[in-house]
Amino acid sequence: MKLSRFTSRFYVALGIVFLVAFFGTLGPLLFTGKDLTTVVGGLYDAPSGKAWLGTDNLGHDVFTYLMYGTRSSLIVGVISGLIATFIGVVVGTVAGYVGGAVEETLMAATNIMLAIPQIVVLVLISVALDSRSVTSVAIVIAVTSWPWTARAVRAQASSVRTREHLDIARLSGANTVSIIVFDVLPYMLSYVVMVFVLQISIAILSEAALSLLGLGPSEGTSLGLMLHWALAWESVRNSAWWAFVPPTIMLTMVAFGFLLLQSSLDEVFNPRLRRDSGRKRRKRIASARTAAEAAEAATTSGSGA
Amino acid sequence: MSFTRYLVRKLAWSAGALAVAVFLNFLLPRLIPGNPIDAIVSSLGRGGAEAGTLKAVKEAYTEAFGLDKSMVEQFFIYVNNLLHGDLGKSFTTYPQTVGDLIGEALPWTIALQLPAILIGWIVGNILGALAAYKSGWFDRGAFISSLFVSSVPYYCVAILLLYVFAVVFPVLPPGGGYSFGTTPEWTSAFAADALEHYWLPFLSLLVVFIGGQAVGMRSMAIYELGSDYVNYSRGMGLRDSKIVRYIFRNAMLPQITGLAISIATMVSGAVITEIVFSYPGVGTLLFNAISQTDYPVISGVTLILTVMVLAANFLVDIACGIIDPRIRAAGGVE
């Protein structure tokens, strides 16, 4: 892959994502001395040399909490993203490749899952769980967020199914699993990467939404939990901006960074989406109408974040 | 008659989804380790409720849920109660029914979400079509800002708007649906008061909706731009505004389908936004119920949210069928 295929948008997105990732992973290693139990001041002390971003409702250092919060939000994102992408891709490829009754059953389940709002299932499962670790929150989110992936992957898989190289594979006696893994999946790999990126950002936002409802991880902290406590202790109405602005900005950066990364990867993998100015553009677009459906799937699922 | 067939099909899907949601609503609370009612009653007891009330709550619920009966029987009791519109009684405000609590909260939520979704959809689509057509700096500016705005979580926009317009520049009230000390009534004074409290939550939803719709519409319209009818219209020397209207109509269809997909996200985003503003809708009701483990209320709200989203989706499906003759002809293909 030549480097010139990457747009500046891609580098901006990658920069944001790396910045956040470094902050969450290396931050706690670099700025040692305080952890989640260290109390450095009172209720909502303003930022100072002792606490760079002030203190929260219990006198904890907001900067330290922000590092650990970013870390657990990223952990939730990656774990949940991996699981949700895996389930979605398996269900989607099996349905799209095998077809017939299997496809109808799997897609019926997927469509019904899609029709029920994700937040409803998230709330019901989380309420039923007695205590919630970061991992179990991630798993709960993954279990509820795979259906759109399954539906989108199925469309791709059934278009690959009719290609001729699959006939050759079948003639040479390859079994279904090996055909799916070696002959179908590689065609969708770029799409799966984008799905994964999008699933990460959806999971991070879902975790924040759950935490705001009071159903976040019951130990440690996360960006959503920081917002939850900041709202519960009226930091907004008391002008304690340091308690809610840092997690808000961090969440926004994470969500925007991953979404931008996803849409710029789309441009890298799908050159027909790239857009320059003037006549050249119109010519290029004229040949691009077939890609409309793919883009529609990407944007509608994108707005789902 | 294939339009009827299309509607029946869509209705069957909604009914299936509703059935699954009802089943989850039934099953998941019963998966709480131990007897859910014991767990909840004991946590109520820690909260300082009187022993007499606790006993009444426990008896009422053991009977209402029929916990001594088999799971299958319990399920039929549950469904039977639902069919009679009986969502149970709240644990924390005991004699009050869940139906009443939701009935009080629901109008606020609908009044907040429906206009925001409709106006956001229309404005966002016009903006997206214009951005695609104009290209250049307008497109770049509109696209990047829409992408940014649409990826900012609803509650983040809500928190920042609340801080800026209610705390830093106190021009609007800092939350609630109406001023403290007033009660909802049909007077112009109360309406003006409620409207003042309406702006911030409404605007924070609207901004995000517009962004999301504009991003989607722009990419749809870009494809329309290369089509023959646009080139032909250009060759004919038609006015820009007329061509944009053609593009708009053609690119609108997938946008309506997109609306059906994003309604669930919009509704759940709006539910969280209510918490930020302590707006007296179902979101705040859900939040309070969760913090007090008021299970019947949680269960009732999740069910109402499901019904709301399914109903909205069904309406969008009807709109699609009316607008797009292909759907009517094919009888609806999934």
Domain ranges of chain B: 99-291
Judging contacts by C-beta atoms under 8 Å, the chain A residues touching residue B261 are 114, 148, 300-301, 303-304
Whether the CB-CB separation of B151 and A305 falls below 8 Å is answered with: yes
Per-residue pLDDT tens digits for A174-215: 888 888 888 888 888 888 888 999 899 889 999 999 998 888
Smallest CA–CA distance, residue A292 to chain B, in Å, is: 6
Measured between alpha carbons, how far is B96 from B288 in angstroms, rounded to an integer? 15
Average pLDDT over residues A140-145: 92
Judging contacts by C-beta atoms under 8 Å, the chain B residues touching residue A114 are 261
Highest-confidence range of A30-39, A139-148, B141-150, B225-234, by mean pLDDT? Answer: A139-148
Per-residue pLDDT tens digits for A29-47: 777 777 777 777 777 777 7
What is the number of CB-based contacts under 8 A between chain A and chain B?
195
Q: Report the residue from B163, B212, B290 with minimal CB separation from A241.
A: B163
Chain-chain contact of A289 with B223 (C-beta, under 8 angstroms): yes
pLDDT greater than 50 at residue A303? no
What is the per-residue pLDDT for A75? 93
Judging contacts by C-beta atoms under 8 Å, the chain A residues touching residue B225 are 282, 285
Judging contacts by C-beta atoms under 8 Å, the chain B residues touching residue A244 are 159, 163
Chain-chain contact of B302 with A256 (C-beta, under 8 angstroms): no
Q: Report the residue from A117, A215, A296 with minimal CB separation from B306.
A: A117
> What is this structure's pTM?
0.83
Question: Under DSSP, is residue A54 helix (H, G, I), strand (E, B) or coil?
Answer: coil
Judging contacts by C-beta atoms under 8 Å, the chain A residues touching residue B162 are 236
Smallest CA–CA distance, residue B30 to chain A, in Å, is: 8
Per-residue pLDDT tens digits for B261-301: 778 778 888 888 888 888 888 889 999 888 887 778 888 89
Q: How confident is the model at residue B333 (pLDDT cuts 50, 70, 90)?
A: very low
Chain-chain contact of B156 with A251 (C-beta, under 8 angstroms): yes
| CA nearest neighbour of A258 among A200, A190, A193 | A200
Measured between alpha carbons, how far is A211 from A231 in angstroms, rounded to an integer? 11
| CA nearest neighbour of B258 among B224, B218, B199 | B218
Whether the CB-CB separation of B131 and B145 falls below 8 Å is answered with: no
Q: Quote the mean pLDDT of chain A.
A: 81
Phi-psi region of A54 (alpha: psi -120 to 50; beta: other; left: phi over 0): left
- Choose the weakest-confidence range: A234-248, A289-303, B225-239: A289-303
* Fold of the domain built from segment(s) B99-291: MetI-like fold (1.10.3720)
Average pLDDT over residues A132-145: 91
Measured between alpha carbons, how far is B150 from A304 in angstroms, rounded to an integer? 10
Measured between alpha carbons, how far is A47 from A51 in angstroms, rounded to an integer? 6
Burial class (CB in 10 A: 0-12, 13-18, 19+), A257: buried
Q: How confident is the model at residue B64 (pLDDT cuts 50, 70, 90)?
A: low
What does the radius of gyration of chain A's CA atoms come to, in whole angstroms?
22
pLDDT greater than 50 at residue A1? no
What is the per-residue pLDDT for A15? 92
Q: How far apart are the first and last CA of chain A?
A: 29
pLDDT greater than 90 at residue A81? yes
Buried b (16+ CB within 10 A) or exposed e, B184-199: eeeeeeeeebbeebbe
pLDDT greater than 80 at residue A109? yes
Highest-confidence range of A287-291, B43-47, B75-79, by mean pLDDT? Answer: B75-79
Q: Which residues contact A106 (CB under 8 A, 6 or more apart)?
A: A91, A94, A95, A150, A154
Q: Quote the mean pLDDT of chain B.
A: 80
pLDDT greater than 60 at residue A298? no
